[in-house]
Amino acid sequence: MPANARISIIGAGPGGLTCARILQRHGIPVTVYDRDPEVNSRNQGGSLDLHEEDGQFALREAGLLEEFFALARFEGQEMRRMDPVGSMLSHHVPDEGETISPEIDRGQLRGLLLRSLAAGTVQWGRTLESVSGPAEGPRTLTFADGTAVEADLVIGADGAFSRVRAAVSPATPYYTGVGFLEAWFEDMENAHPELSELVGKGSAHAADGERGLFAQRNSGGHMRVYIMRRVPVDWIAVNGLRPEDTEGIRAHLLGEYASWSPRMLRLITDNDGAYVDRPLFALPVSHTWEHSPSVTLLGDAAHLMPPLGVGVNLAMLDAAELALALVRSATVDDAVHGYEKTMLARSAEISRLLEHGADSLLALPDLGPFSRV
C-alpha cells in the first residue's frame, strides 16, 4: 500500500517538491534527496509562467495556489514581439485580473514548496550514483557519499541528465543544435532604463531566421536575456574562446548580430557579469520505457523538450497526477501503471508537436510563433 511504502524522490526541483507536498498533504510519508549541498547553494534560474491547466492545477492540489498568487507577477504576462531593428510586431498586455500564466521566479517557487514540507523531508548533499535491485523492488539507492538506502518506489525528478532514468530506460538526451547564452541584468529601472522601456514588464522576443534574443523580466529589478543561435555544442572552444572570457564572447556575438540595430544589441552588450552557456538538449520523441512497479519518472527526466513554456508546467502536472494516483490506489504498482498510462500518452503528443521547437525560437517574425522560454 502506498501509505506503507518507502517512497524516495530524487531531485528537489518544482516537480519533485510538488509531488512530495501532495503526498504529505494526504498523509503519505516521502523523502526527497538532492545533490545541492544546501538550499541556497546555487542560483535557481529565471522566471516561470505557470498555466491554469497544469502548473496552477498542481499548486491547487498542493493547497498552495493562494500563496502562489501572493508572490506571482501578473504584469509579467505582458509579451512583446519585435524585429531585429526593435520595431514592435505584436504586443500582448494582460487584462486586469488575468491569471492565465502569471510569472514567478524559480527560486521563489522552490521556496514556497520547501516551506510547505515537513522538517527534514529534503536531504541535501545527496548526489545519487545509481539505482539497483530487482524491478519488483525494493530498490537500492547508492549515493556519492558512500551511503545507501532502500526504497519501494523511486521517483526520478532529477532533470535532463537523470541518474534514475538509467534504471528503466537507455535513452540519453541529444543536442538540438540550438544553444542559449544567458546574460544577466541588475537594477533595471536605474542602471538600464532604456532596456527596461524596450522589454516592458514581461518578456520580449526577436529573431531573424538564424539567431534570436529573448528578454525576460524577473522580480527585484532583475532581467535575463537568452541569446539564441544555431551553433555547435562546443562553439566557445571552436572559436578559440573560454567561458570566462566575457569580452571575447561579447565581441564574437557582435559579429554574429552585426545586422541588428544598436538598440537591440544592448541586450547583448550591457549585461552585468559573465555569460552562461546553456545548450539545448532533448530526449527522443515519444520517449517511453518498460513499466517497473518500483521506479518511475516525471518532468525532464521523463520527457525533456525544448524550452517553450511547457517544461515546469508538465513537471508539476506529472507530480500532481502521480501523487494523487498514489493517494487513490490500492498498491504502488496500480498507481504507477495509472500515472504512466496518462503521462506517457500526453508527453508523446506534446513532444511530437515540439520536436523542432528550438528552431521556432529563431524563426523569422512572420513565420514563427511567439515562443515562451
Binding site as annotated, residues for NADPH? 42
Q: CA-CA distance, 337 to 38, in Å (whole number)?
A: 34
Q: What burial class does residue 316 get, using C-beta atoms within 10 Å of its C-beta: 0-12 exposed, 13-18 middle, 19+ buried?
A: buried
Question: Do the beta carbons of residue 314 and residue 179 sit within 8 Å?
Answer: no
φ/ψ bin of 82: left (φ > 0), alpha (ψ from -120 to 50), beta (otherwise): beta
C-alpha closest to that of 198 among 131, 295, 267, 268 = 267
C-alpha closest to that of 77 among 196, 201, 225, 219 = 201
Question: Do the beta carbons of residue 173 and residue 282 sit within 8 Å?
Answer: yes
Q: CA-CA distance, 169 to 344, in Å (whole number)?
A: 13
Q: CA-CA distance, 306 to 173, in Å (whole number)?
A: 11
Q: CA-CA distance, 28 to 13, in Å (whole number)?
A: 19
Annotated binding-site ranges: 42, 49, 106, 300
C-alpha closest to that of 44 among 59, 52, 34 = 34
Annotated binding-site ranges for FAD: 49, 106, 300
User: What DSSP character marks residue 76?
Assistant: G
